[in-house]
Amino acid sequence: MTDADARTILEVSGLRKHFPIYGTLLKRKVGAVQAVDDVSFHIRQGETLGLVGESGSGKSTVGKLILRLIDPTAGEIHINGEDVTRAGSGRMRALRRDIQMVFQDPYASLNPRLSAGSIVAEPLHNYGEGSASEIEDRVKRLFLKVGLRPEAMAKYPHEFSGGQRQRLGVARALALEPELIVADEPVSALDVSVQAQVLNLLMDLQQEFNLAYLFISHDLAVVEHISHRVAVMYLGKIVELTDRETLFRDPQHPYTRALLSAAPVADPQVKRDRMILKGDIPSPINPPSGCRFHTRCPFVEELCRVEEPLLRDVAAEHSVACHLTDSA
Ligand code: SF4
């Protein structure tokens, strides 16, 4: 559990990202991919919010928007109370120190021509964080923090195993002492035996530095292991948001229930109804009317096809977007 009174680091409200589609003739806009549509959530200091959903749900786009790798179509992203969607490039550079990223594929995200030590030192040099020898000392300490030997500073990324490369990615993300790390599928490219080690490392670092994580993953077991709260996304929208225990014990949204019913259960005491999801996730270019899940929902009613259900509180700190769920 995290401290409910902890300071809010990240507050996202009404976030939208629609990628325009242009026709081949006259290059006119003919539609839009509604990748993220009216998404709101917050993350407190020292907390992990898991963002879970199938491929195409928009969860990675949310991560890119928060990091300002892409601009939102609408909405606000407040970091420590400041709206970064309005920050100029100078201010954004300062704010970037506070948010770092750990990528899915550590190999693709590490410069193969730089030594491991130079990779971790790079952000420190970019921000003028001390003399060359001070930076070298900090890099050594970072290597030890993430479970790498300082002698490995002279090696190149291809000389590391997958798990060690991800430790290197974590060391680089930590270098500027951020408050929030956006981790996009950080263990899905790793062997299962190595996944737990990297997850435990992230949890230890969170304890030590009071870090907040936005942890993006399609893997429910991984999300259950690391998250304090979980947001479930479907076709660009959050459909359920609550604490980890409630979500895995008593999911309310039919989509969450379907996802959980398809996932293996470690605890034999936990019984879940089997709910098979029919078909694939529809295209975000032309999402279904009303409830976006209505084309696959076994409980669909006429209202679901015409009216969009809003994300409403069904209990304290538990929100669900479904017409069949009673509000608090
Ligand atoms: Fe299913 Fe209707 Fe609820 Fe959507 S609103 S999840 S279609 S019951």
Distance 237 CA to ligand 1 centre (A): 13
Average pLDDT, the chain: 91
pTM: 0.93
Which residues approach ligand 1 with their CB closer than 6 A? 254, 291, 293-294, 297, 299-301, 304, 309, 322-324
- Taking the alpha carbons at both ends of the chain, their separation in whole angstroms is 22
- SS3 for 262? helix
Percent over 70 (pLDDT), the chain:
95
Distance 39 CA to ligand 1 centre (A): 18
DSSP E strands, the chain: 8-22, 29-44, 48-52, 74-79, 82-83, 99-102, 180-184, 212-217, 229-234, 237-243, 312-315, 318-320
Q: What is the pLDDT of residue 60?
A: 95
Q: What is the pLDDT of residue 2?
A: 59
Distances 205 to 25, 48, 180, 181, 262 between C-alpha atoms, Å:
53, 12, 12, 11, 31
Q: What is the pLDDT of residue 306?
A: 96
Take atom 3 of ligand 1 and give the residue whose Cα is closest.
Answer: 322
Distance 298 CA to ligand 1 centre (A): 8
Which of 233, 235, 299 maximizes ligand 1 atoms within 8 Å of its Cβ, making it the mutation to test the pocket? 299
- 138-152, 252-266, 271-285: the lowest-pLDDT one: 271-285
Domain 8-98+178-320 bears CATH identifier 3.40.50.300: yes
pLDDT higher than threshold 80 for residue 263: no
Counts for the chain of helices (H) and strands (E), in that order? 11, 12
DSSP assigned state of 125: H
Position 23 confidence tier, pLDDT thresholds 50, 70, 90: confident
* Residues 129-176 pLDDT 10s: 999 999 999 999 999 999 999 999 999 999 999 999 999 999 999 999
Of ligand 1's listed atoms, the one at least distance from the Cα of 294 is: 7
* Residues 100-129 pLDDT 10s: 999 887 778 889 999 999 999 999 999 999
The ranges assigned to domains in the chain are 8-98+178-320, 112-173
* Residues 226-236 pLDDT 10s: 999 999 999 99
Q: What mean pLDDT comes out for the span 47-60?
A: 94
Distance 294 CA to ligand 1 centre (A): 6
Distance 320 CA to ligand 1 centre (A): 10
